[in-house]
Amino acid sequence: MNFDNYVCDGQMSFDDIFGETVKVNKPIRLIELFAGVGSQAMALRNIGADFEHYKVVEFDKYAVASYNAIHGTNFETSDIRQVGGVDLGIKDTDHYTYIMTYSFPCQDLSVAGKMRGMEQGSGTRSSLLFEVGRLLDEVEELPQILLMENVPQVISKKNENAFKQWTDSLEWKGYKNHIQILNAKDYGVAQSRKRCFMVSILGDKGYQFPKPIPLDKCMKDYLEDEVDEKYYITSEKAKKLIDKLVIGGKLLTDRQTDRQTDRQSTCHSKSLELSTQRIAYRQEQTGEYRQDMQKEAVCVNGLGFIEKGTGQHQSNMVYGTDGLMPSEYAVQYKEPMKVVECKKLNA
């Protein structure tokens, strides 16, 4: 297997991801720690890489069930604290390229949580990072490539000592670390989602992160044309909101005849008040908002928020579909995002 001449129209190539100085020309064995539903495996699949789902370490039984359903595998749940280096089965590195990913828990790093940190021995969920170090200490042969992904706060001032401890330990093992914060919107996805990535390569090899690509999508491109009535807002106060948005020029006036134009997800709202925030690219002209298609998918378009007595928060915001999807907080799995399709005028 050799990716030197690999071409995949409309997708990033393998070399785009791993850089010109890193050549993968041996069969790939993928090891996913904190695997979730296998996003890293999906990425390899999407660029056409031929790889083996070699090992998965994931504690959540529902995540593992989803992983198996998505990837056609048969993995079982496992607790990283109970896994030993020998269980990873890393051998014959002369014949295989081992890529090990570790998107360790972010709950104690994220601004949406209590930010308890990730110091080794602290007992926080985010400190499970150092279980990865233990496994690397226990294996007889090291994986050639490591990939870390987490929230940007992983390299914040609060966590800099613990993160430096981690990167120093990798360098001591012979890895060269390459770190950068990337945003999904810069790589073809209509979501503003910043994440810190670190690619660690065994040996003194260079690496360049992929360059941003133009974004030609916004949130509405992902929405379904046919939506069940149960997902529409039907309260009287929601109706007043819709009328207010129509009067303000933010919604199409023919929404009653075209249900697609006022699509929203389920919400049990009491009221919605327009926020005073204005997105940089939205300029008010004669009561209507002029949209520049090239700038349309650069920002998240927050139209207002559902008043719950707790003030404005991402979980109760309502977004226009002419912008990007925001980066979701963990709480949002309990309450779906609320969206409406905005009025669009010719530039």
| Tens digit of each residue's pLDDT (9 = 90 or more) over 161-204 | 999 999 999 999 999 999 999 999 999 999 999 999 999 999 98
58-67, 121-130, 265-274, range with the lowest pLDDT: 265-274
In the sheet that 302-306 helps form, which strands lie side by side, from edge to edge?
A: 272-274, 302-306, 317-320, 338-340
> Does residue 17 or residue 211 have the better pLDDT?
211
62-76, 177-191, 249-263, 299-313, range with the lowest pLDDT: 249-263
* Residue 347: pLDDT band with limits 50, 70, 90: very low
Q: What is the mean pLDDT of the chain?
A: 78
- Spatial separation of the C-alpha atoms in residues 28 and 43, rounded to whole Å: 13
| Mean pLDDT in residue range 272-298 | 32
- Spatial separation of the C-alpha atoms in residues 215 and 128, rounded to whole Å: 35
Domains of the chain by residue range: 14-202, 219-340
Q: Which of 56, 60, 129 is nearest to 99 (CA)?
A: 56
Q: Is the pLDDT confidence value at 266 over 80?
A: no
CA distance readout (Å), 12 to 26, 99, 183, 328, 342? 20, 18, 15, 25, 31
CA distance readout (Å), 61 to 64, 66, 77, 146, 288? 5, 9, 6, 25, 49
Other beta carbons within 10 angstroms of residue 83's beta carbon come to 17
Structure tokens at 147: 């990939």
Of the candidates 106, 218, 267, 342, the residue annotated as catalytic is: 106
Q: What is residue 14's predicted lDDT score, i.e. its pLDDT? A: 46
67-81, 92-106, 139-153, 294-308, range with the lowest pLDDT: 294-308
> Does residue 231 or residue 140 have the better pLDDT?
140
Structure tokens at 204: 């003194």
111-125, 134-148, 166-180, 223-237, range with the lowest pLDDT: 223-237
> Does residue 254 or residue 239 have the better pLDDT?
239
| Mean pLDDT in residue range 137-147 | 98
- Spatial separation of the C-alpha atoms in residues 163 and 119, rounded to whole Å: 8
> Does residue 164 or residue 111 have the better pLDDT?
164
* Residue 331: pLDDT band with limits 50, 70, 90: low
Q: Is the pLDDT confidence value at 286 over 50?
A: no
Contacts of 23 (CB under 8 A, 6+ apart): 3, 4
CA distance readout (Å), 315 to 51, 167, 332? 38, 34, 6
Residue 267 bears catalytic tag: no
Q: What is residue 56's predicted lDDT score, i.e. its pLDDT? A: 98
Q: Establish how many alpha carbons lie within 13 A of residue 347's alpha carbon, considering only the half-sphere containing its beta carbon.
A: 8
Q: Is the pLDDT confidence value at 35 over 70?
A: yes
Identify whether the C-beta of residue 82 lies closer than 8 Å to the C-beta of residue 100.
no
CA distance readout (Å), 220 to 250, 253, 264, 323, 325? 15, 18, 11, 8, 9
| Mean pLDDT in residue range 116-140 | 96
Identify whether the C-beta of residue 64 lies closer than 8 Å to the C-beta of residue 56.
yes
> Does residue 79 or residue 18 have the better pLDDT?
79
Fold of 14-202: Rossmann fold (3.40.50)
* Cα Dmax for the chain: 70
